[in-house]
Structure 1
Amino acid sequence: MKKRMLFIVNPCSGTVKIKDSLLDICQIFCEAGYDLTLNVTKYISDAIKEALSQASHYDLVVCSGGDGTFNGMVSTLVSLEEHPSIGYIPSGSTNDFARSIGLNGSSIDIARQIMTGSPRKLDIGAFNQLYFSYVASFGAFTEASYNTPQSLKNRLGHLAYILEGVKDLSTIEPCRMKIVHGDEVMEGNYIWGAVCNSTSIGGMIRLNKELVDFNDGLFEVMLIKMPKTLIDLTKIVVSINTQSYDPDVITFFQASALDVYPETEIPWTLDGEYAPGSKEIHIENIHDSLQIII
C-alpha cells in the first residue's frame, strides 16, 4: 500500500516563490512513492482537519509557508492521539524556525531533503490553551510581528520587522510581572521577554547554538529588564550581540515549565502570530511531541 502524504501550501506567505516549483516538488513526492493530496490554502488548520476527516491516516503532513503556517500545522497535529510525521518547506519572510533547525536551500532542495532525511523529535510549547513551535514573546517589538503589513514582509523580509519595531522605541513601557519556575520566584519590569526553542527570534535576536536543543524538554527564557540609563541600554545591546548575558540587564535561564503573572494583560506573539494576554499564563514544554523529517 502506498504511503499517504498531505501537502499544504500557503499562497499568501512570503514571496510565494514555491509557486514556480510546485509541480516539480509534487513530482518529487510522488516519485518517492507517496499518494499525494495537495491543498493550496491560507487556512492551514481547517485544511488539515478537513483532510483528516476524509481520510483516517496520513503518514506525512508537509506544509509550505512562513512561521505562522508552520504554527498552524503544529497546533492542529499536536492535539491528535496519533501524530503523523511532519515536513516543512519554508517560504515566509523571516523563517526563524527553519533557519534554526537547518532547513536551507531552494524549495526543491528541501523537498528532496524531506524525502531522504531522517526523523527528528521536536518539543512543542503549550501556552494556556494554545501552542507554539519555537517562541512565545511579549513586550517591545512584539506588535511588529503582527502589525507589519504582509506586502512589506514580502519585500523586505525580517528587515520589515525591524522597521516596524523601531516605531515602538519612543513608546516602550515596561511590563511588570512575576514569573515562577520550579522553586524560583522572580519579579521585575521587563521591556521584552521570550520563551523559545530556537536560535533565531524575529530575525533580530540570535541564541548560541550550543544552548539550544530542540528536544531536550527545556525552553530558553530571556527577559530584558527596563534600562534605567544609557549604560544599561549599551549593556543590553552588547549582551545580545555577544550572546553573553549580563545579569544586570538580562535574565536568562532554562525551564521545562513556568507560570507568568503580569500586572496587566499584555499581548503576546506565538511564532510571530498574535495571542491574547492573560493575568495567569502557564507555559509548558511538551517533550518529544512531534517528529519532523529533515
Structure 2
Amino acid sequence: MRRRARVIYNPTSGRETLKAKLVDILDVLERGGYETSAYATTPQQNSARDEAARVAHEGFDLVVAAGGDGTINEVINGIAPLEQRPNLGIIPAGTTNDFARALGIPRADFVEAARVITQGRLIPMDVGKASNDEITKYFINIAAGGRLTELTYDVPSDLKTVFGYIAYLVKAMEMLPQARPIEMKATFDGGEYEGKASMFFLAMTNSVGGLEQVVPNASLNDGNFTMIIVKTGNMMEILQLLTKVLNGGRHVNDARIIYKKTKHFTVAQQNTNLQMPINLDGEFGGTAPMHFENLKEHLSIFSNLPPEPQRLLE
C-alpha cells in the first residue's frame, strides 16, 4: 500500500508565493512514494490544527506543514496529543522560519525543502507541553513570557506578508522603550527564582528570532528545555546583553541571566493585577500561571541535518 501524505499549507505565507509552487511540491512527494493531497488553511480558528488531527486519525503516514512558524505550531498541536502520530515534514514559508533554520531545511526554495522530506532522514524531536487549569498546548521551538516576547503576535499578519522581517524590526524599536520588568516566580529542576525579570525563554532549538547565538547549546532531543531568565528590565542593559548575544553568545555567563537546562518549568505572575501573556512558537498561548514539560523525542521529523550530533531514527 502506498504511503499517504497531506500537505497543509497557508496560502498567504511566503508573501503568497507558496501557492505558485504547490504543484511542484506535490510532484516531488509523489515521486518520493507518497500518495499526496493538499489542504489550504482558512481564516477559521485552528484550521491547520483540526486538519492535521483529522488526517492523523485516518492513518496518514506523513503530514507536511507548509507555512510560517504559526502554521507549523498549529499542525504540531493537531498531532502531538495523539497516541499514533504521523511523521512530520516542514516547508518553511514564513518570516523568520526559526524551526526550519534549526533543522537545516532550505528557507529560500520550497521545492528543495520538499526534497528534504523525500530523502527519508527522520530525527526524533522533543515537543514542549504548556498547560494550566484552562488550556493545554504544544510547541516545538520556544515558549516565552515578558513584554518583548509579545513582538511576534503584535505584528499584524498583513504587514508581515508585505514587509517581511522589516515589520518585526520596526515593532521591536517601538516596544523596547516600553519594556518593564515583571514580578514573577519561576520554579525549575533544581532551583527557583522569585523577583523582577523582563522576560524568560524556554528554547528547544538554537534559533530564536533568527538568532542562533541566543541558546548556543540547545539540543533537539535531549529531553530538556534551555531556560533563560533575563533579570534586568533596564533598556540599556538589555541592549548590552543583546550585544553579548551577537558577540559569540557570551550572555550565558552574565550575572543578569539565569541560563540552565530543565525538563520542567512553572511560572506565575506575582502581581495579580497584571497578566503575563505566554508566547508559544510566536503565537499567543494563554496567560500565566503556566506549567511546561518537555516530552522527549515525541515526534519524528524530516530534517537536513548531518547524522551527527543528532541521532537519526532507524
Change (3 A) 1:270 1:228: closer
- Identify the match of residue 225 of structure 2 among 219, 222, 245: 219
User: When the two structures are superposed, what TM-score results if normalisation uses the length of structure 1?
Assistant: 0.92
- Is the 1:135–1:271 Cα contact (8 Å) retained in structure 2? yes
Shift of 1:237: 2.8
SS of the residue 2:75 aligns to = helix
Distance of aligned partners of 1:143 and 1:208 in 2 relative to their CA distance in 1, 3 Å threshold: closer
**What is residue 100 of structure 2 aligned with on the other side?**
98
Q: Aligned residues: percent identity?
A: 29
Change (3 A) 1:50 1:228: closer
Within the candidate set 295, 298, 304, 1:289 is matched to: 298
What letter matches 1:282 in structure 2? H
How far, CA to CA, are the matches of 2:99 and 2:21 in structure 1? 22
Deviation at 1:118, TM superposition (A): 0.6
Query: Residue 204 of structure 2 contacts residue 225 of structure 2 at CA under 8 Å; is this kept in 1?
Result: yes
Q: Provide the secondary structure at the position in 1 that maps to 2:177.
A: helix
Give the secondary structure class of the aligned counterpart of 2:250: coil
Residue number in structure 1 paired with 2:312: none
RMSD: 1.9
The 5 Å alignment of 1:140-155 reads: 140-155=147-162
Tell me what 1:271 maps to. Answer: 281
2:310 paired residue number: none
2:193 to 186, 192, 199: 186
Q: CA deviation at 1:66?
A: 0.4
Post-superposition shift, 1:175?
1.3
Deviation at 1:158, TM superposition (A): 2.6
Residue 39 of structure 1: how far off its partner (Å): 0.8
Paired with 2:56 and 2:178, the residues of 1 have a C-alpha distance of 46
- Name structure 2 gaps, 5 residues minimum: 304-314
Aligned-residue offset at 1:83: 1.0
Question: Distance in 1 between the 2:112 and 2:183 partners?
Answer: 46
Q: Is the contact made by 1:162 and 1:204 (CA closer than 8 Å) also made in structure 2?
A: no
Paired residue for 2:49?
Answer: 45
- How big is the shift at 1:258? 1.4
> What count of residue pairs does the alignment treat as equivalent?
289
- Cα distance between partner residues in 2 of 1:197 and 1:95: 14
Determine the structure 1 residue equivalent to 2:8: 8
Q: What is the distance in 1 between the residues matched to 2:104 and 2:238?
A: 32
1:49-198 aligned at under 5 Å gives the runs: 49-52=53-56, 56-104=58-106, 105-128=108-131, 129-198=136-205
SS of the residue corresponding to residue 60 of structure 2 reads coil
With normalisation by structure 2, the TM-score equals: 0.86
Deviates more, 1:215-224 or 1:179-188: 179-188
* Shift of residue 37, structure 1, vs aligned partner: 2.2
